[in-house]
Chain A
Amino acid sequence: MSERTQLDLVLRVHDQQIVDWAGRRCGNVDDVAIDGEPGGSATVKGLLVGRDATRRRRPRLLAFVAGPAFGDAPEVEVSWSEIEDITQVVKLKKDATELGLGAGDDRAAKWIERIPGS
């Protein structure tokens, strides 16, 4: 894989919607975890999802907005081997909950399900 291709890969997946095997939306790609050293080869370890993964890209003045994780884990690393396909979205091989994603929706669902018509 050339350097150019690696750069394209990061650009390609950054900020993309992630869906689990069943099509459930369960986060966006907030960062990419890359293993390697300057001058050496680099390997993509996986995708980072969650509030903490956006820290470096968060505008300082608006830091308070991205503070809450809205019930999600502060940061989840999804191993590259768990990715099924990359199209308009990043599709995972497994269930979101199994990978630690979408916890905020799972929590909110417990409250919403108590209301008639939910």
Chain B
Amino acid sequence: MTKVFQISLGVLAAIGGFVDIGDIVFNAAAGATLGYQLVWAVVVGAVGIMVYSEMCGRVACIAKRPVFDVVRERLGYKVGLTTLLASQFVNAMTCAAEVGGVAIVLRYLFGFPYRPLIAVALLLLLVSVWFLPFEWIERVFGFGGLLLIVFAVAAVKLDPNLGALGHGLIPHIDTPSPLIWCYFAVGILGATFMPYEVYFYSSGGVEDGWVPPHDLKLNKLTAIAGYALGAVLSISIMVVAAELFVPQGIEPGFLGTVALAAQTPLGEAGLLLALLGMLFAISGAAIDTSLAGAYNMAQFFGWEWGKYRKPGGAPRFTVTWAAFFGLAFLVVISGVDPIFVTELSVVFSVVALPLTYVPILLVAGDSNYMGAHANGRLASTLGWLYLVAIVVISLAAVPLLVLTNMGEG
């Protein structure tokens, strides 16, 4: 059991990265619009985030340097500050979307009005992060989010077309609107690489006190197993949406529509598990983003940080994550649609994406820094290939968003 708990950092980082509010709706929309055509994008994205998470976890383990420490050191103060601004905007917007998402799921579960539930969501998140130690945050929200496995069970029960699913692993365009295909492909890949995942993951490695050589293996296992689980959940949602929504021409624009997809094959228990899984996963993503924002500020300015201490042990760090939740509350209470906010944050991640991943790749490959644990040929090749992909995604995201009217055509 201890071994299972050890990978909880990867599970929480992946849950936040793969099945947050935006991803749940986006993957379901991709499945409902294009069937299995974009399964490959989830797999390609998962391998990429595994490669980079392993790298930044290794840097955290060997050099005790989380990502934003490395960003400032390698890019310098000027570019580092630009990266900080862009990434903090993305963190804040994503956190707002997640807080709104938690309130939406609470409304589905308890039937109370949405706005008061935003305050309840804020209170639940603040209390959780204030009182729970880091390892329990990982366990409760990471493993709680795994209730979304109900979508994998639902997918199997729906007896999907395995031939079409296998064909989906090979990129192919089978739609009259290639731009829509590109929009969803870039969206899925872009969401997979959202920078807060690596901020959270690398700082989490330091929080968990990783030391070489034992924890280098744990880092590899955590990155691979965590993100593989996230990818399975993503693909399951896509499959369920393809099986249920394509024949009926349904466009799932709401979380509730996606949750109902688990009810069709599994009954009310399926719906309840799907909603509970969403509650934990989206809450986990909210915590990922608020802590990522606090890690970034503290590491860039050199403040004390860490959830392994009590809140008073890292005061400005504590004030910052609480401020992120507060800001998120103000954004969603204003009435803005959380799903629109999350799509907006993907656009702004354009600046932060390459500036976050370049320093990780440079430091992980620097033998002066990493000694015998610097990137080998495989990690280096994959790292550079994925960096090119990240730059292409960054450049393509905004034009595709505009040209396809956010995927509406």
Contacts and interface: CB of A to CB of B under 8 A. Distances in A.
Interface of A: 14-18, 24-28, 30, 49, 54, 57-59, 62, 65-66, 70-71, 88, 102, 104-109, 111-113, 115, 117-118
Interface of B: 63-65, 69, 72-73, 76-78, 80-82, 84-85, 130-131, 298-305, 310-312, 314-316, 318-319
Nearest to A60: B78
A71 B300 CA distance: 15
B316 A18 contact: no
Nearest to A106: B315
B131 A17 contact: no
Contacts, number: 86
A16 B65 CA distance: 10
Contacts of A27: 301-302
A111 B316 CA distance: 10
A58 B81 contact: yes
B311 A70 contact: no
A113 B312 contact: yes
A104 to B, nearest CB: 6
Contacts of B316: 70-71, 104-105, 108
Contacts of A59: 78, 81-82
17 contacts: A17-B69, A18-B302, A24-B304, A62-B82, A65-B81, A66-B81, A70-B303, A70-B316, A102-B304, A104-B303, A104-B316, A105-B304, A105-B315, A108-B315, A108-B316, A112-B312, A117-B131
A25 B85 contact: no
Nearest to A24: B304
Nearest to B318: A112
A109 B302 contact: no
Contacts of A104: 303, 316
A14 B74 CA distance: 10
B105 to A, nearest CB: 26
A62 B88 CA distance: 14
B76 A57 contact: yes
A107 B319 CA distance: 12
Nearest to A118: B312
A25 B302 contact: yes
Contact of A109 (B73, B81, B300, B315): B315
A62 B78 CA distance: 9
A24 B317 CA distance: 13
B311 A58 contact: no
Contact of A58 (B69, B77, B299, B303): B77
B65 A109 contact: no
Question: A28, A49, A71, A88 — which one has the most chain B CB atoms within 10 A of its CB?
Answer: A28
A117 B303 CA distance: 21
Contact of A117 (B305, B311, B314, B315): B311
Contact of A16 (B73, B84, B130, B304): B73
B319 A112 contact: yes
Given A16-B73, A105-B315, 19 more contacts: A15-B73, A25-B303, A28-B301, A58-B77, A59-B82, A62-B85, A65-B81, A65-B85, A71-B316, A102-B303, A104-B316, A105-B304, A108-B316, A108-B319, A109-B315, A112-B312, A112-B319, A117-B130, A118-B318
A68 B162 CA distance: 58
Contacts of A17: 69, 299, 302
Contact of B64 (A71, A88, A113): A88
Pairs A-B, 5 closest by C-beta atoms: A108-B315, A28-B302, A118-B312, A27-B302, A57-B77
Contacts of B300: 28
B310 A118 contact: yes
A76 B60 CA distance: 28
Contacts of B312: 109, 112-113, 118
Question: A18, A70, A112 — which one has the most chain B CB atoms within 10 A of its CB?
Answer: A112
Nearest to B78: A59
A88 B300 CA distance: 15
B76 A25 contact: no
A28 B82 CA distance: 17
Contacts of A88: 63-65
Given A15-B76, A58-B77, A26 B318 contact: no
B301 A57 contact: no
Nearest to B312: A118
A8 B355 CA distance: 24
Contacts of B85: 62, 65
B122 to A, nearest CB: 16
Contacts of B299: 17
A14 B319 CA distance: 27
B137 to A, nearest CB: 14
